[in-house]
Chains A and B, each alone.
Chain A
Amino acid sequence: MDTWKIGPYEFRSRLLLGTGKFADLETQGKAVEVSEAEILTFAIRRLNLENPHEPNFLEQLDLKKFTLLPNTAGAYTAEEAVRIARLAKASGLCDMIKVEVIGDPKTLLPDPIGTLEASKILVEEGFIVLTYTNDDPILARRLQEAGVHAVMPGASPIGSGQGIVHENNLRFIIEDAKVPIIVDAGIGAPADCAKAMELGADGVLLNTAVALADNPVLMAEAMKLGVEAGRKGFLAGRIAKKRYASASSPTEGMIE
């Protein structure tokens, strides 16, 4: 069985699914089911006290089946991220945290300094830390030195659907990795998942590409298959690229 670990936790699925932007809870439930994701991300927000009992996706989940990965989305400083992480952990539901410190509202690219600072603090506080980061190999190394349990470089800006824009950077990060590398954000299509996994990533985290697809449930299945295809391709070992052709059929025994 091709399992993998993040900190002390072991998983079979290599597709991590976000839970934002779905049109309705029923579609979302089906998409989560067919994706076979074991790790689901959530955000922490104020409860709407004017309608505190509106249906909530988390409350419909069988929490024994899933590992929750709350994020620190919305944080623009390390302090804000740490505050959100502590609130998430105080729920008693999880000790994993997706550290996300944004540096710019237009691109939503991470602030590398705040990201590293928040990650350091949360590692020291005993969280299982998965850090969303720029696709910068040196920053990925610094995060690992700080003790994070997984590094999650973006493929491209959050929700952009551009796929992997810096393949070479991802390759460097993966080659250098001592913890799982999860390609997070910017995935648009199953081919992007396959590509990330073929490069040797340990997993893929996506949200918008499924939630806003014309058929989110079908896309969730397609993404699962993309991740699986890419993973198997990576394990199988692809052939080297060559400049010229190499015949697939025998060159001997030709009929004359």
Chain B
Amino acid sequence: MVVVLNGKKVELADDVQNVRALLASYQLQEKIVVVEQNGVIIDRTHYEESPIMDGDRIEIVHFVGGG
């Protein structure tokens, strides 16, 4: 399926069916990130129960230097 991930169209591998698998596909399990799916923030304890659908808009954000 194809999703819009951080503003870019991305074709996901067949085994990426939920948010947990999506993060794992980029090896982000240990990183401090926050996921928003179609405008809704996904609680980190619910990654596995959050299915990804074709056409989803997903943002993965983190803390960067700023003033």
Contact = CB atoms under 8 A, between A and B. Distances in A.
Are A and B bound to each other?
yes
Interface of A: 18-22, 28, 41-47, 49, 52-53, 56-59, 68, 70-71, 73, 86-88, 90-93, 158-159, 185, 205-208
A19 B65 CA distance: 4
B7 A91 contact: no
Nearest to A57: B65
Interface string B39-54: 0010110000000000
B64 A42 contact: yes
- Dominant SS among interface residues on chain A: mixed
A41 B44 CA distance: 23
A90 B34 contact: yes
Q: B7, B36, B61, B63: which has the most chain A beta carbons within 10 Å?
A: B63
Interface of B: 5-8, 26-28, 31-34, 36, 41, 43-44, 59-67
Contact of A44 (B5, B27, B62): B62
A133 to B, nearest CB: 15
B67 A45 contact: no
Contacts of B6: 46-47, 49
B5 A41 contact: no
B65 A73 contact: no
B66 A47 contact: no
Given A52-B27, A52-B31, A87 B65 contact: no
Nearest to B7: A46
Given A90-B41, A93-B32, A47 B61 contact: yes
A42 B63 contact: yes
Contacts of B44: 90, 92
